[in-house]
Amino acid sequence: MAGRALTALSEDEALFRDSVYEFADREIRPLVREMDEHAKIPRALIDKLFDLGVMAIEIPETYGGAGATFFHSVLAVEALSRVDPSIAVLVDVQNTLVINALLRWGQEEMKRRYLPRLASNAVGAYALSEAGSGSDAFAMAARAAERDGDWVLRGRKLWITNGNEADIFMVFANINPEAGYRGITAFIVERGADGFTVGKKEDKLGIRASSTCELIFEDCRVPRANVLGEVGKGYKVAIETLNEGRIGIGAQMIGIADGALGHAIKYTKERQQFGKPIAEFQAVQHQLARAATEIAAARLLVYNAARLRDNRRPFLTEAAMCKIFSSEVAERVTSLAVNLFGGYGFVKDYPVEKLYRDAKIGQIYEGTSNLQLQTIAKQLLG
Rounded to whole angstroms, how far apart are CA atoms 337 and 299? 19
Rg (CA), the chain: 21
CA distance to 9, 56, 179, 314, 319, per residue, from 307 (Å):
11, 19, 36, 10, 11
Residue 128 in contact with ligand FAD, rule: CB under 6 A: yes
How many residues bind to ligand FAD according to rule CB under 6 A?
A: 20
Q: How far is the CB of 248 from ligand FAD (least distance, A)?
A: 12
C-alpha span between 239 and 382 (Å, rounded): 20
- To the nearest whole angstrom, how small is the minimum distance from the Cβ of residue 343 to ligand FAD? 29
Q: How far apart are CA 174 and CA 155, in angstroms?
A: 10
Burial class for 156, CB neighbours closer than 10 Å (0-12, 13-18, 19+) = middle
CA gap 220, 284 in Å, rounded: 57
Single out the residue of 21, 126, 217, 315 in contact with ligand FAD (rule: CB under 6 A): 126
Q: Which of 318, 328, 353, 366 is catalytic?
A: 366
Establish whether 366 is a catalytic residue: yes
Q: Which residue's CB is nearer to ligand FAD, number 50 or number 138? A: 138
Q: Which of 21, 114, 356, 365 binds ligand FAD (CB under 6 A)?
A: 365
Stretch 169-208 residues interacting with ligand FAD (CB under 6 A): 204, 207
Interaction of residue 368 with ligand FAD, rule CB under 6 A: yes
Piece of the chain touching ligand FAD by CB under 6 A; list 129-137, 142-150, 300-308, 310-318: 129-137
Kind plus residue range of the DSSP H or E element containing 228: strand 227-228
- The 3-class secondary structure across 163-191, one letter per residue, is CCCCCEEEEEEECCHHHHHHHEEEEEEEC
Nearer residue to ligand FAD within complex by CB, 236 or 271: 236
Question: In the complex, what is the shortest distance from the CB of residue 164 to ligand FAD, in angstroms, rounded to a whole number?
Answer: 12
Nearer to ligand FAD by C-beta: 58 or 366?
Answer: 366
Whole-angstrom CA distances from 158 to 134, 144, 217, 254, 360 are 9, 17, 12, 27, 19
The piece of 99-107, 159-167, 176-184, 187-195 that touches ligand FAD (CB under 6 A) is 159-167
Name the residues annotated as catalytic.
366
Binding site for ligand FAD (CB under 6 A): 93, 126-129, 134-135, 159-161, 204, 207, 212, 361, 364-366, 368, 370-371
